[in-house]
Amino acid sequence: MWPEMDRPYWNEEIETMPLEKLRKLESERLQKQMAYVYRTSPWYAEKFDQAGVRPDSIRDYKDLARLPFTNKTDLTRSQDDGSLVGVNQCAPQDDILRIVGTGGTTGRPLRLPFTANDITVYAEQGARSLWAMGCRPTDTVINVFNYSIYAGGVTGGNSFEYLGATTLPYSVGQTARLFDLLGHLQGTLGLYATPSYAVRLLDRADEEGVDLRALGVKKAFLSGEAGLQIPGYRERIEDGWGMQARDLYGAAEVGAHSAECEHLNGLHWFGSGLVIAELIDPQSLDVIEMHEGAVGELVFTSIQREAGPLVRLRTHDLVEVFTDPCPCGRTSFRFLTRARSDDMFVVKGINVYPLGVQSVLAGLRPRITGEYRIILRAAPPIDYEPELHVEISREVPEAEVASVLAEVREAIRGRLSFTPEVHPVAQGVIASDHKTRRVYRAYDGILPAD
């Protein structure tokens, strides 16, 4: 029943489609989707009317630029009255089978509805990504994402089954039993986790005297955080587990839309034909043409969605795009995350991106774990030293903590041109089992739970 295992693509036609042909296909689907959205959602209809756009005038990819953006907060706020989905409901509830929450690093989760077709589209996109990462139907994959309303665990795990892999839904915790289970499984084992949970398990294995390399897990499908881009992070996971780690990038709103192929050339876009990705300038909001090296914010428009289609949803993710050909033959653009534009802050005129901080900290392991968070006590302008909490490795004696903190402070000052007030926290406090928040704006009442 399964096509040959060594074929390079899950969906060859769409993944290698010449761009011009893909644009045509996507433009046709866009036309239909916009007509549907206008017909089924009074909220979108009003937005279109206010912008003076008739849905039948949206004929082409480029016409998207005439439509207003959708902000996640508008959708979330519309759910505050207790309605299941709020203004973004385009299908009747008897067709809605599942609700997924955004794994928000900011605010309350947005509830997103899915029909049976929506679930299939989500899984198809995920399967394309996973296949590129090396997942095959003969793999046995342990899913250690948290089983919650967030997309990673249940809905993300679906993509493995859709691809045909054997999955063991395990969720988080009970690590001794997990290690025991893995130790008793044969075959090609894969791990589906957040990067920071893969690292957390390294620590747990250490404490319990388990040799992870002996468990035979060979493939890691890591998602939910930008961790693998941090120098040294991938190597640490690969060395500790004796496995190959690949990066899978997704958002609850559109699914696991991007992933690395074997050439590790950035993240390939796998939403072709299902979601249109635009690049915009986050300040002027103008569309930026995708070309090698272009930097901008990703904006998503669903073109194959029934329950809650999204029209020009702003992601606030700043990415750098690559369009030079990849040896794997896929024709979609690739990108690397530069920052969440929301997480960027300015200290005395210097733009600070959390990923930059993370890179510097990665270079100071193993005395610190590399996990961190930043706390901004007072509203901008930030003319004070932001608090930087770093996890001190448990091997570091108490007497040496002060010198480690001083070293962190110097390294940040030297590399990023701002000076933080560095605080120690115990190993294991910061990393979480879904998206780890890095920046806390205490002046907005947002503080770590511990």
Let me know if 364 is exposed, middle or buried by CB neighbors in 10 A (0-12, 13-18, 19+): middle
End-to-end alpha carbon distance in the chain:
51
Number of continuous H segments (helices) and E segments (strands) in the chain: 11, 19
The residue among 273, 269, 202, 194 whose CA lies nearest residue 226 is 194
Q: How many other β-carbons are positioned within 10 Å of the β-carbon of residue 403? A: 11
Considering only the stretches 30-38, 94-102, 229-237, 256-264, report the one whose residues sit in contact with Zn ion under the rule CB under 5 A: 256-264
Is 336 a residue that touches Zn ion (CB under 5 A)? no
How near is the Cβ of 221 to Zn ion at its closest, in Å? 16
Considering only the stretches 205-213, 260-268, 314-322, 434-442, report the one whose residues sit in contact with Zn ion under the rule CB under 5 A: 260-268
Kindly identify the residues of this chain, within the stretch 201-240, that bind Zn ion according to CB under 5 A. none
CA distance 361 to 230: 9
Q: Which is nearer to Zn ion, 146 or 258 (CB)?
A: 258
Let me know if 69 is exposed, middle or buried by CB neighbors in 10 A (0-12, 13-18, 19+): middle
Considering only the stretches 2-10, 306-314, 324-332, 354-362, report the one whose residues sit in contact with Zn ion under the rule CB under 5 A: 324-332
CB 252 within 8 A of CB 288: no
Considering only the stretches 39-47, 251-259, 318-326, 399-407, report the one whose residues sit in contact with Zn ion under the rule CB under 5 A: 318-326
CB 297 within 8 A of CB 286: no
How near is the Cβ of 132 to Zn ion at its closest, in Å? 7
How near is the Cβ of 268 to Zn ion at its closest, in Å? 5
How near is the Cβ of 330 to Zn ion at its closest, in Å? 5
Q: Which is nearer to Zn ion, 321 or 326 (CB)?
A: 326
Is 328 a residue that touches Zn ion (CB under 5 A)? yes
Is 35 a residue that touches Zn ion (CB under 5 A)? no
Q: Which is nearer to Zn ion, 263 or 348 (CB)?
A: 263
CA distance 294 to 279: 9
Q: Are strands 295-302 and 275-280 parallel, antiparallel or unpaired?
A: antiparallel
Strand partners, 382: 347
Is 326 a residue that touches Zn ion (CB under 5 A)? yes
- In sequence order, the 6+-apart residues with CB closer than 8 A to the CB of 131 are 9, 10, 163
Q: Which is nearer to Zn ion, 326 or 382 (CB)?
A: 326
CB 190 within 8 A of CB 218: yes
Residue owning tokens 């959205």: 37
How near is the Cβ of 263 to Zn ion at its closest, in Å? 5
CB 386 within 8 A of CB 346: no
CB 79 within 8 A of CB 85: yes
The residue among 339, 345, 350, 362 whose CA lies nearest residue 413 is 350
CA distance 424 to 438: 15
DSSP summary character for residue 2 = P
Before 381, cis peptide (omega within 30)? yes
How near is the Cβ of 193 to Zn ion at its closest, in Å? 23
Q: Which is nearer to Zn ion, 133 or 201 (CB)?
A: 133
The 263-302 contact track toward Zn ion, x by CB under 5 A, reads: x---------------------------------------
How near is the Cβ of 329 to Zn ion at its closest, in Å? 7
CA distance 215 to 179: 8
The 337-356 contact track toward Zn ion, x by CB under 5 A, reads: --------------------
How near is the Cβ of 345 to Zn ion at its closest, in Å? 34
Number of residues that bind Zn ion (CB under 5 A): 4
Q: Which is nearer to Zn ion, 7 or 263 (CB)?
A: 263
Is 259 a residue that touches Zn ion (CB under 5 A)? no
CA distance 61 to 58: 8
Q: Which is nearer to Zn ion, 21 or 263 (CB)?
A: 263
Considering only the stretches 13-21, 66-74, 120-128, 325-333, report the one whose residues sit in contact with Zn ion under the rule CB under 5 A: 325-333
Q: Which of 261, 267, 303, 362 binds Zn ion (CB under 5 A)?
A: 261
Q: Which is nearer to Zn ion, 269 or 372 (CB)?
A: 269
The residue among 265, 224, 262, 217 whose CA lies nearest residue 239 is 217
How near is the Cβ of 265 to Zn ion at its closest, in Å? 5
Q: Which is nearer to Zn ion, 100 or 290 (CB)?
A: 290
Q: Which is nearer to Zn ion, 179 or 249 (CB)?
A: 249
Q: Which is nearer to Zn ion, 182 or 261 (CB)?
A: 261
Kindly identify the residues of this chain, within the stretch 378-437, that bind Zn ion according to CB under 5 A. none
Q: Which is nearer to Zn ion, 264 or 402 (CB)?
A: 264
Strand partners, 335: 267, 321
Positions touching Zn ion (CB under 5 A) are 261, 263, 326, 328
